[in-house]
Amino acid sequence: MSKQQGAAPAIGVDTTDPTPPYEQVRRQVIALIASGHLGPDDRLPPVRQLANDLGLAAGTVARSYRELEQDGWVRTKRGGGTRVGPSPPSAAVQSAALADLTSTFVQRARFLGADDASIVTHLQQAL
C-alpha cells in the first residue's frame, strides 16, 4: 500500500492491542493518507487480499473500508476497487481522526509507563 508498485502493505494488526482489528486497519489507512504515503486516487488492496495478508476475516476489512468511505477518506466503485478520495475529508472529520490518533498514542505511551511530561516531550520532538 505504498506508491511503489508491488510493495507489501504498510498495515498490520497487533493482536496484543485491545483495539478491534477493523479499527486498527481504519486508523492505519488514515495515517497513511494523512502522511502522504497514499495520495488521491491511490488504490487500496482488495478486501479479500488485505484480509488474507493480515489473517483477518474479509468482513473485518470490509467494515474498515466502509467506515473510511463514510468519513470521506476513500471511495469505492463496483469493479474499480477502493481508492483514496480526491480531496481530504472535512475539517471536522480530520479533527476527529487526529484526536483518535493522539488518544491511541497516549494510551500506548502510558502502557509503556510514560508520564505526562515525557509524552509531551516526545510529541514536541516529533513536531
pLDDT in tens, 69-122: 998 899 998 888 999 998 777 777 778 878 888 888 898 899 889 999 999 999
Q: What is the pLDDT of residue 5?
A: 44
Q: What is the mean pLDDT of the chain?
A: 87
Domain boundaries, the chain: 6-87, 90-127
C-alpha cell at 15: 493482536
CATH of 6-87, one of 3.90.1010.20, 1.10.1040.10, 1.10.10.10, 3.40.190.80: 1.10.10.10
62, pLDDT greater than 90: yes
Integer Cα distance of 45 and 27 in angstroms: 16
**8 pLDDT band (50/70/90 cuts)?**
very low
